[in-house]
Amino acid sequence: MAKEKMTIRQFLADYFPKRNFEDRSVDTACDDGWYDWFCKDHALAGKTKNLGSKLRGISKSKKFDIDTTYVFFKNNCSMVGLYDDFRICDIETGGVIYTIIPKDVGTKKAEVWGMENGFKEPLISGSWKEIKNWFLS
């Protein structure tokens, strides 16, 4: 049986603050919400800390509901190198609402892709501050 997904509220309030970032095990990385990665396993703890902090920074957004969504993390391999993203998903359907790339390895910009335009192009591209402001506006 698959483990029940925790909401973003549960992740940020209960799980993330208690996460021991010295624990670099794959099992813990999977508990963190890692879905797929190309980097070394031991790097995931630090990536969780970074991406979790970014998620916390946009968690007061009215663009998604932290009680009906969950997050998962990915480390992607592109033609120009590795980069991380996190995805905000509907907990009921599992559908991705937003894919957030804090820093694209190719463009060196942060990007948000979303359902609003069918993920055809970034909804916004710029600095992390611009991404955060977009979510919080």
Specify if 3 maps to a domain. Answer: no
Write the single-letter amino acid at 73.
Answer: F
Q: Which of 68, 75, 85, 74 is nearest to 6 (CA)?
A: 68
The reported pLDDT for the residue numbered 4 is 75
Specify if 96 maps to a domain. Answer: yes
How many structural domains are present in the chain?
A: 1
The reported pLDDT for the residue numbered 2 is 46
The reported pLDDT for the residue numbered 3 is 59
SS3 34: strand
The reported pLDDT for the residue numbered 92 is 96
Domain that holds residue 70: 8-136
Task: Assess contact for 122 and 111: CB atoms under 8 A.
Answer: yes
What is the model's pTM?
Answer: 0.92
What one-character-per-residue DSSP string does 48-109 give?
A: HHHHHHHHHHHTT-SSS-TTSEEEEEEEEEETTEEEEEEEEEETTT--EEEEEESS-TTT-S
The reported pLDDT for the residue numbered 19 is 93
By the 10 Å C-beta count (0-12 exposed, 13-18 middle, 19+ buried), 63 is classed as middle
Residues of the chain whose pLDDT is less than 70? 1-3
Specify if 128 maps to a domain. Answer: yes
Distance of CA 132 to the CA centre of its chain: 13
Specify if 14 maps to a domain. Answer: yes
Specify if 1 maps to a domain. Answer: no
Specify if 2 maps to a domain. Answer: no
The reported pLDDT for the residue numbered 108 is 92
Specify if 21 maps to a domain. Answer: yes
